[in-house]
Structure 1
Amino acid sequence: MRTANPALNAGTFTGLAPAAARSEAMTLQGTVNKSALLLVILLAAATITWGKFFETGSPASVGIWTLGGAIGGFIVALVTVFKKQWSPLTAPLYAFLEGLFLGGLSAVFEAQYPGVVIQAVALTFGTLFALLAAYRTGLIKATENFKLGVFAATGGIALVYVASMLLGFFGVRIPGIFGAGVIGIGFSLFVVVIAALNLVLDFDFIEKGAAGGAPKYMEWYAAFGLMVTLIWLYIEILRLLSKLRSRK
């Protein structure tokens, strides 16, 4: 089962003993419930940094919270990937930390481009439900070629981001792709499409994991993996919309 999401890769269920009883096994409904809970935690945390920003109107007022959420979320994500059994604890913590990060980030974008956040949220969930419906009805199938294509594209995007970060330390910027020109908007649109297609791979992976009778705690891990993709998709949509708004 190939997926471009590093949290839900082909080896996620390798070495896991099947659950002894159905009540102890991973289920689709259980994963949905836990995904919803993580989303609630994320939104609750986001209101903290969002509120702090608009109380003061200064990005500096939420800088430490936003940065701490980003770094802390990354560290907790790594721990969760390598210690799946801890996911009932680490997944909610990840959602909380990422909520702090997204709340601050979203507030900064909202202050510059009023209304952009609600648009990004609507497009993110619209994409999620549209792709879920397409997957459930068989309009989109996660074939091996489909998975390979999405995996390769996601890897390429990751390399571009890493290269950009490393070059930034030397004062070098990759021309065009991060600007609001045609190339920059085209790149952002491509990234949004690939991030969205990762949801299809996640649906397929979770469905197969539940069918394989994975342990109950894997519901938390699967929900965590889905959150990783949704957060990425939201950020990329926010970037795309901000580029479009800046051209007006």
Structure 2
Amino acid sequence: MTNPVFSNSAVFGEKQNRDVQRTQSQMDPNFGRAQDMSTGAAAGMDAHQLESMYNAPAATTADTGRMTYDDVIMKTGLLLVLLVAAGAATWALAPQLYFVGAIVGLIFGLINSFKREPSPLLIVIYTLAQGVFLGGLSKMYESFYDGIVLQAVLATISVFAVSLFLFKSGKVRVTPKFTRMLLIGMGGYLLFSIVNLVLVWTGVLEGWGMRGGAMGIGIGLIAVGLAAMSLVMDFDAASVGVKNGIPKKYAWSAAFGLMVTLIWLYVELLRLIAILRGDD
């Protein structure tokens, strides 16, 4: 998987589809007991007890403590509110702290990505740090290009909506070929970004470096496309988790994974719009 949040998880992914029953049995001792109810229980229950059991309403995911789409939506919504609040406060009070937010966000992003068990506290800290980073960064871009932040936000929402629609409609499906294409694309983009950053920092290139002009626009569009593909992968991983009946605490992991991709997408769109509006 391209998103380390899901690729390093023991509960997300297609592998779990092959071992759902075994995994559920390990996570919930009552799972195996419920499977035997129709056989072993019949020997110790009278007709009235059996009738009551069969007439009882079916257990919901809330009753069994399993993750649902609502859990993922609620957690993601909460993190978005925290992100926007931290960003707005930084924008208004201390935009110069964006670099601190970037470093703290990177550290806690890596910690959360490689933790086997989700930690709501660490995920919230990551979100707040990224809010500080985005607030300061957005204020800086807005000072150069009036209205660019609103444009980037609307573009991010649009890309997210289109990606979700394509995934839900089945027009775009996560296949081994899709995964390989995304993995190769992101690997190449990461290498390009590192080389470009080093050349700019060392003074070999100026301004946007290789990300300026027509080439920069092309690279920006590729990056946005990769982020959109990553969103589809995130949707698929969350869907697999719900189908597998994993514990609801992993909704935090799914929400965190979506936040990582959304933040990346917003930054790429912000940079792309700036290139389009700039005088390179």
TM-score by length of 2: 0.78
CA contact (8 A) 2:95 2:136 kept: yes
Q: CA deviation at 1:241?
A: 0.3
Report SS of the residue matched to 1:85: coil
Match of 1:44 among 85, 99, 120: 85
Q: Which position in structure 2 is the counterpart of 1:58?
A: none
Give the deviation of 1:40 after TM superposition: 0.4
- Structure 1, unpaired ranges of 5+: 53-60
**Residues of 1 paired with 2:11 and 2:195: CA distance?**
32
Q: Which residue of 2 aligns with 1:13?
A: 10
Match of 2:276 in 1: 244
Moved more, 224-233 or 154-163: 154-163
Query: Is the 1:176–1:183 Cα contact (8 Å) retained in structure 2?
Result: no
Deviation, 1:82, is 2.2
Percent identity (aligned): 38
Equivalent residue pairs, number: 235
Q: How does 1:221-240 map to 2 (within 5 A)?
A: 221-240=253-272
Higher relative contact order (CA 8 A, sep 6+): 1
CA contact 1:69–1:97 (8 Å) conserved in 2? yes
> How far apart, CA to CA, are the structure 2 residues paired with 1:215 and 1:172?
51
Matching residue's letter, 1:81: S
**Residue of structure 1 equivalent to 2:65:** 24
Alpha-carbon shift at residue 44 of structure 1 (Å): 0.4
| In 2, Cα distance between equivalents of 1:151 and 1:120 | 25
TM-score (norm 1): 0.87
Three-state SS of the structure 2 residue aligned to 1:217 is helix
RMSD, matched Cα: 2.2
Max radius of gyration: which structure? 2
* Secondary structure, counterpart of 1:177 in structure 2: helix
**30-39 or 141-150: which moved more?**
141-150
Distance 1:127 1:219 in 2: 22
- Distance of 2:228 and 2:210 partners within structure 1: 19
- Which residue matches 1:207? 239
Q: Of 215, 219, 223, which residue of structure 1 is paired with 2:251?
A: 219
Report what 1:156 is aligned to: 188
